[in-house]
Structure 1
Amino acid sequence: MTVAALRALIDAETPAVVRPPAPRIRPRTQHPEEVRPVNTQQAVAVSMYRDGETVAAIIDATGLDQDEIADAVRNAGHEYFAEPQNDGPTDAVATTAQGLIAWGMQHPSPRMQRLADQARTALADLQQARRREAVVTAAEERVRAAEQALAAARDALRAAKGAPAPAGRPDRAEAAAIRIWARDHGHTVGAAGMIPRAVVDAYRDAQAA
């Protein structure tokens, strides 16, 4: 029997009694898009993401996959930034680094933003160091080529003059004399180790003259 039918029966039995109208009860409206229940793994994932942890670290800690982490973050009212994916080896290393830096700068975590700013500075320093090293390496190659060309020219000149070919590697005494002579004549030689062939030939030519 419904409430309305029961009320009508009571009114029929006691017609003299005045009763207030029955209140209308509105059915509760369900909103499935409201806050969804969050389990422990999802709560941990949201907390770690807000602290700036990487998705890989969150996956290891919670066992959730990347899509589940993204859903948990968005359901908690935060914006989710997907980490850039590296599909395979690439020659554009700087491009990948720039992508990571851009992702970090847009991250809601101040810690990730600081790391991205530090990485940007470090990347600029690395790029400058690589350019400088490339210039130095190219200059050293040119110096080596020039020394080899000079040694070949000296051999040709010696052959044209009919002079005997130079002896082989200098012994300890001659090496010490060569180092002293080389420094006095503007050549760069180390205090130990092999002396460049061009310097040895120049010293011997000077002694033979």
Structure 2
Amino acid sequence: MTSIDRLISLCPPPPTAPATDWLAVEQSLGMPLPADYKQISDTYGPGTFCGFLHLYHPHAHTPWTSLTGPMPSTIRAQLQTGHEQGAPPLPADPQDLFPMAVTDNGEHLFWVTRPAGSPDEWTLAANQARSFQWYTYDGNLARFLTAVLSGQETVPVFPGSLLDHGAFFTPLAPAANLPTVQPEQSSAMASSSDIRAWARDHGYEVPDRGRIPADILDAWQQANTR
């Protein structure tokens, strides 16, 4: 039984999920994607695991949970800025961390994209919202989800109550016409300093250094994504 088979047995998917043109998605991102992620996305579609973990998906119901939307580049730029300003060490170079999921608490799950061009060898990392605590997992997404949803793996940055209602998936209707980020657009994404300035102009309290709180990122995305 494969990791995907175990995941499906543990956490049943919805009857149908939207089809994805993975070639177009990978061309948009400028990188290949792990086979297990594509299979999970094709099986489950956009939605949440245990009402908590939102995998970024090309057909996500909002731009800020879209794999091809603006959030991955924004978060990556934020990590890069913090790294350059002397923030505590990351588990990998900021440019090797690609955000691919977010929790309701504002934690992010990343692919560690090494070695480049070999996505099926990528491992995972997660950070705690509004802190510098990191967790790493030496395996792919399918193994991670199976281990976490079965209770075999405890993620310190996730709540202890995650499995109080068992393992379940809640599908969310895909949105139409979500904006996508082409490779040449990545450098045009707003920097963390731009987002901090916008937040202060709009009455938010935002720290000078470190991660920008998830609620402020969401507000900025809603105000600036059209």
Same fold flag (TM > 0.5): no
Q: Which has the higher strand share?
A: 2
TM-score by length of 2: 0.20
Which is higher, the Rg of structure 1 or of structure 2? 1
Q: Which has the higher helix share?
A: 1
Higher relative contact order at CA 8 Å, sep ≥6: structure 1 or structure 2? 2
